[in-house]
Structures are given as structure tokens and as C-alpha cells.
Amino acid sequence: MSASDDPPPRSGSSRSAGPRSAGPRAVGPHPAGIVRKRSISLHGHATSFSLEDAFFEIIETIARERSISLSALVAEVDDGRDKRANLSSALRLYALEWVKSGGS
């Protein structure tokens, strides 16, 4: 099939041929939605999880408000999570529930 055999573009399409928007962006050096890997000690073993800055800041706030270390909070979440879910997802859900409950 040659290029001249290609069907013409559909009219009325809602998608434009121009560049796509990158979506919301955070102010500062890291765009919104960038996942960053974090390393901590969990039950005496080095482990890591990956979170967007916004979720990590919430987790840090929770630990600070509860006067516990970040490692202690992550250990609590890890101990209570369904082991079919990964730690990063469990931390995001924990942060979300904390925000939904009014941060208490």
C-alpha cells in the first residue's frame, strides 16, 4: 500500500494533531508526578519505595505529627499491608486515607 492509498484523516476528531499538553506541573525543579526512589531501614534491613514528592511529604508530616521516625511509620504501614500490594502503593493509600480523614 503506498502513501497515496492511505485514507484521509477523519474529520470531527476530538484529538488535535499538535503537541500534547504535559499536564499539571509542580513549581520547582521536579515536575508533578515524578516518582522518586527513597531508601530506608525497615526492621533492620535496607529497603526502598518509590513515591511522588506530594505523597512523601504527607508521609513525613504524619510521622512528625505522631512524633515517630519515618522508618517507624513505614514499618507500621508495611506490617499492616496486604502482602499482595507493594509497599509504595500501601504508603500512597495510607497517605490518602490520612488526608481524607482530615489529617488526624
Per-residue model confidence (pLDDT) at position 15: 45
Whether 79 is in a domain gets the answer yes
Please give the residue range of the domain that contains residue 97.
35-104
Whether 57 is in a domain gets the answer yes
How many domains does the structure of the chain reveal? 1
Contacts of 51 (CB under 8 A, 6+ apart): 35, 36, 38, 59, 88, 91, 92
> What pLDDT, in 10s, does the model give residues 53-89?
999 999 999 999 999 999 999 999 999 999 899 999 9
Whether 74 is in a domain gets the answer yes
Whether 22 is in a domain gets the answer no
Residue 104 pLDDT > 90: no
Whether 9 is in a domain gets the answer no
> What pLDDT, in 10s, does the model give residues 27-59?
555 566 789 999 999 989 999 999 999 999 999
Whether 77 is in a domain gets the answer yes
Whether 6 is in a domain gets the answer no
Whether 68 is in a domain gets the answer yes
